[in-house]
Each structure stands twice: as structure tokens, then as C-alpha cells.
Structure 1
Amino acid sequence: MSLKYAVLAALLDGEASGYELSKVFDVSFANFWPATPQQLYRELERLEGDGLVAARVVRQERRPNKRMFTLTEAGRADLRAYAAEPPRRPTAVRDELLIKLQAMEDPEATRALIEERRAWARAKLDRYERVRDRLLDGWTEERYLSESGRVGPYLTLLRGISFEEENLRWCERVLTVLKQRVAAG
């Protein structure tokens, strides 16, 4: 998959500047499709050239003008067609930490790496839970899922939450094993 469809999906919630889009990616897409602001701006230019998004300039005083992007009907049609296709391949995990763990010789040094991963997972989980609270805005999850306009962002957020919860469980298990190995000498 290219960044193209992630950008189109992000614009389903309405008009956004490149800067606003990068903030959306940081909060909702980063767990499964990260992108730098520079990549997003380049992709927005391509999508505009392909007629899949439209841009308008908003003039600002004392600040540079900004461009606001929206999906075109062609962009919506392309995204609908893409969303209906089955994924081309199953999910593959590419994780540098797993290679380091595979090559582990020093359990103490590895412990520090796992503790760092645990801290990252905890921070991401905390952020995702704040996003969930904002999305629900006092609604129950059941009500939100049955009555809100779009549930896709919430369902992908749930996947991010479960992913980080599993990362935390895995880190705790690995730390327990490493502690036992160090104690055993």
C-alpha cells in the first residue's frame, strides 16, 4: 500500500492543511502507517496533480498562506475501490528489537532495551486512551459504534490499543525470563 490511501482516508473527516494532516497522522495513523510531514506534503501534491484532492489557499495576515485540502469525488471513488479490495499480503512484523533479542548474549543489556520498549508502549497506550476518551466524548462504546457517523477511526484506534497492550504483556514476560536467567547465573 502506498501513502496515497492513508492520506485519502485521513481526509474523509474533512478539509485539512498539510500541518493538520501531519497531526492527524501522529495521533491516529502512526501506529500502523507512519509518515513524516515532508512525505505528507509530497503526497498531497501528487494527489492534487492526479485530481484526487483539491486545494484552496487561505490567506493569513502575519503568517504564510496555507493550503487546505479536501477529497474530490474521484478521490472518494478511488478510496472506495481500494477499501473494497482484499489486502495484498498478510501483516508482517519488522522490528529491530526482535533481531537484537534474537542475537542476545547479555541479558542485562537486553533488559534495558526491553524496559525502553515497555516505556514506549505505555506512553503510546496512554495517548491512545486519551484519544479514545475524546472520541467517545461521554458516550458508551456501544452507543458510539452504533450511532456515530464513521467508526473506522475508532476501530483502528482499538487495534492500536490492543497492540500496545500486547506489547506491554510481552515486555513483562521477557523481563521475567531475563531476570530469572540473570539470577540463575
Structure 2
Amino acid sequence: MSLKYAVLAALLEGEASGYELSKLFDVSFANFWASTPQQLYRELERLERDGLVQARVVRQERRPDKRMFSLTETGRRDLETFAAAPPKRPTAIRDELMIKIQAMDGVDPEATRALVEERATWARAKLDRYARVRERLLGGRTEEEYLRRADRIGPYLTLMGGIAFEEENLRWCERVLSVLRSRAALS
């Protein structure tokens, strides 16, 4: 999948500047699709050129003018076609830490432990951030009420996937650390 569809999906939330989209990616999309601001701006230019988004200039006092992007009907139809099609291939994990763990035998166990603890720290931080996003999305409603009545449930469902992913990351880290402690106790 290209960044194209992630940007189009982000614009379902409404008109946004490149900066606002970058922040939205940090909060809502980071659990499943990472992008740099530079990649987003290049993609927005390409999408505008292809007629999938349109931009308007907003004049600002004491700041540079900003461009606000929104979906065109062509962009919305393209996104709907994409959303209805099955994925081209299953998800594959590409994780540098997994390669390091695969090669850990013969490496200082403390170095491996530090890497896994760092991953656990990242997972906890993401879970904390996701909890704040969840509270904002729910806005005082129960999850059941939100899922039954909200205009758009896609952002919440993907958030649930991100939470599950990081919870499993944390469980894996705890298991690896337990194994490393057990092996150290035998040495």
C-alpha cells in the first residue's frame, strides 16, 4: 500500500493543512502507518496533481500562508474502491530488534536485556498515548455507545488494533526478560 491511501483516509476527518496531517499521523496513524512530514507534503502535491485532493490557500497574519487540503469526489471514490479491495499481501513483520534477538547468542546478555527493556518502554509510552487518544475519541461515552452511534468508527477500530499490538509487544518483552533472567540465574 502506498502513502496515498493513508493520506486520503486521514482527510476523511475533514480539511487539514500539511502540518495538521503530520500531527494526525503522529497520533492516529502511527500505530499502523508511519510517515515523515516531508513524505506527506510530497504525497499531497502528487494527490493534488492527480485530482484526488484539492487545496485552498488561507492567508494568515504574522505567519506564512497555509494550504488546506480536502478530498475531491474522485479522491473519495478512489479511497472507497481501495477500502473494498482485499489486501494484496498479508502483513509482514520487519523489525530490526527481531534480527538482533535472532543473533543474540554469544552477545552480552546485558546488551540484549537493555534493548528489550527499551522496546518495553516504547510500548508503554505508545499505550499511554493511545489511552489519551481513546479518551478523546470517546468524549465521555462508553465504548459500546461510541461504536453504536459515532459518525465514523474506523479511527477507533484502528486504535484498538494499535493498542492490541503494543500490549502484545509488552507481553513479548516481559517474556523475553523473564527468559534472560532465568538463564542468568543458571550461570
Give, in whole Å, the separation in 1 of the partners of 2:109 and 2:23: 38
Give, in whole Å, the separation in 2 of the partners of 1:34 and 1:84: 22
Please state whether the residue corresponding to 1:62 is helix, strand or coil.
coil
Unaligned runs of 5+ in 1: none
Please state whether the residue corresponding to 2:63 is helix, strand or coil.
coil
| Aligned residue in 2 for 1:111 | 113
Residue 143 of structure 1 aligns to which amino acid in structure 2? E
Shift in Å, 1:109: 1.1
Paired residues of 1:108 and 1:182 also in contact (CA < 8 A): no
Shift in Å, 1:45: 0.3
Q: Does 1:94 align with 2:94?
A: yes
Q: Within 5 Å, which residues of 2 pair with 1:62-73?
A: 62-73=62-73
| Aligned residue in 1 for 2:175 | 173
Please state whether the residue corresponding to 2:42 is helix, strand or coil.
helix
Give, in whole Å, the separation in 1 of the partners of 2:24 and 2:12: 12
Aligned residue pairs total 185
Give, in whole Å, the separation in 1 of the partners of 2:30 and 2:3: 12
| Aligned residue in 1 for 2:163 | 161
Q: Does 1:134 align with 2:136?
A: yes
Unaligned runs of 5+ in 2: none
TM-score (norm 2): 0.98
Q: Aligned-residue CA RMSD in angstroms?
A: 0.5
Shift in Å, 1:31: 1.6
Please state whether the residue corresponding to 2:91 is helix, strand or coil.
coil
Paired residues of 1:107 and 1:181 also in contact (CA < 8 A): no
| Aligned residue in 2 for 1:25 | 25
- Percent of aligned pairs with the same amino acid: 78
Q: Within 5 Å, which residues of 2 pair with 1:5-24?
A: 5-24=5-24
